[in-house]
């Protein structure tokens, strides 16, 4: 006896592969805004332990404490700028590999940001009042660099990180003799920044022509002068 056609099992349609939801322009804007707010007003959490570990707090007089706080405020602003730059650059990176490279470096910069913020609190000080401006300016710069193409994008990383390395050396010399906690944080940051530059070079960075490096150095000198006090 044959089964009537209407009672034959109907094959279910094959499930559609679940695609990862692509973010629309509004979602992306919200993600970027959230990152900016977290960086500027939030308390970013480090994914690695603070390099200062349980080193003792130094006995610093008022002037030494003020000087150490000024230097650590500069470094904190530098990390706010790094977040802005990297996220701006990642937003317009062409290759997925370049974007991945930038976001990975930004994750390590978040550790630096958290360590510098912690040290500022230990020194009874505070971050720069102009952090929203530093972030906004750096983000815009990152987008501009990124729009020129991935070679430029990575070249910008190399130049930024090399300049940061040099300035960390200056700070390591200038910190009060006994401030081992700040010093250990800067030492680890210097190691990380050198790696960020090396990785960007390997990933195909182009060498930025003058006057770009000179302009970047001038901008960072201005930032350092302001951030030391405010
Ligand atoms: Fe950093
Ligand atoms: Fe870096």
Question: What is the CA(205)–ligand 2 centre distance, in A?
Answer: 15
| Whole-angstrom distance, CA of residue 67 vs CA of residue 194 | 25
Q: Tell me whether residue 208 is in a domain.
A: yes
Residue 24's pLDDT band (boundaries 50, 70, 90)? confident
Percent of the chain with pLDDT over 70: 91
* Within-domain flag for 21: no
Predicted confidence (pLDDT) per residue in 143-202, tens digit: 988 898 888 888 988 999 999 999 999 999 999 998 999 999 999 999 999 999 998 899
- Give domain status of residue 14, yes or no: no
Q: What pLDDT does residue 97 have? A: 86
- Residue 192, in any domain of the structure: yes
From the CA of 116, the nearest ligand is 1
d(CA 186, ligand 1 centre) in Å = 9
Query: Does a structural domain hold residue 107?
Result: yes
Ligand 1 centre and the CA of 63: distance in Å?
A: 26
pLDDT in tens, 52-61: 998 988 888 9
Q: What is d(CA 176, CA 182) in angstroms, rounded to the nearest whole number?
A: 9
Tens digits of residue pLDDT in 93-104: 888 888 888 888
Q: What is the mean pLDDT of residues 121-125?
A: 94
Whether residue 55 lies inside any domain: the answer is: no
Whichever domain contains 95, its CATH number is: 1.20.1260.10
> How far away, in angstroms, is 46 Cα from ligand 2 center?
14
Number of domains observed in the structure of the chain: 1
> At which residue do the structure tokens 């010399």 appear?
173
**pTM score, two decimals?**
0.82
Ion ligand 2, residue ranges at CB < 5 A: 193, 196
Is residue 154 assigned to a domain?
yes
Does 16 fall in a domain?
Answer: no
Range of the domain at 99: 27-36+60-227
Q: Which ligand is nearest to the CA of 160?
A: 2
Q: Give pLDDT, residue 1.
A: 45
**Radius of gyration of the CA atoms of the chain, in A:** 23
Q: State in Å: Cα 100 to ligand 1 middle.
A: 17
């Amino acid at each position: 006896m044959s089964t009537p056609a209407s009672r034959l099992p109907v094959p279910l349609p094959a499930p559609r592969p679940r695609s990862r939801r692509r973010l629309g322009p509004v979602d992306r804007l919200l993600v970027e805004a959230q990152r900016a707010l977290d960086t500027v007003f939030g308390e970013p959490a480090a994914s690695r332990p603070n390099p200062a570990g349980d080193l003792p707090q130094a006995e610093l007089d008022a002037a030494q404490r003020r000087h150490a706080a000024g230097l650590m405020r500069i470094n904190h602003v530098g990390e706010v700028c790094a977040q802005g730059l990297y996220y701006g650059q990642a937003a317009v990176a062409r290759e997925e590999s370049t974007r991945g490279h930038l976001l990975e470096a930004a994750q390590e910069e978040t550790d630096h940001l958290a360590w510098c913020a912690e040290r500022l609190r230990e020194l009874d000080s505070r971050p720069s009042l102009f952090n929203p401006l530093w972030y906004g300016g750096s983000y815009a710069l990152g987008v501009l660099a990124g729009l020129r193409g991935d070679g430029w994008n990575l070249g910008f990383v190399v130049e930024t990180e090399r300049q940061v390395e040099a300035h960390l050396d200056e700070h390591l010399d200038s910190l009060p003799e006994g401030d081992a906690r700040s010093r250990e944080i800067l030492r680890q940051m210097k190691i990380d920044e050198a790696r960020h530059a090396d990785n960007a070079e390997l990933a195909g960075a182009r060498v930025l022509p003058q006057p770009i490096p000179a302009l970047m150095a001038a901008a960072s000198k201005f930032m350092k002068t302001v951030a030391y006090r405010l």
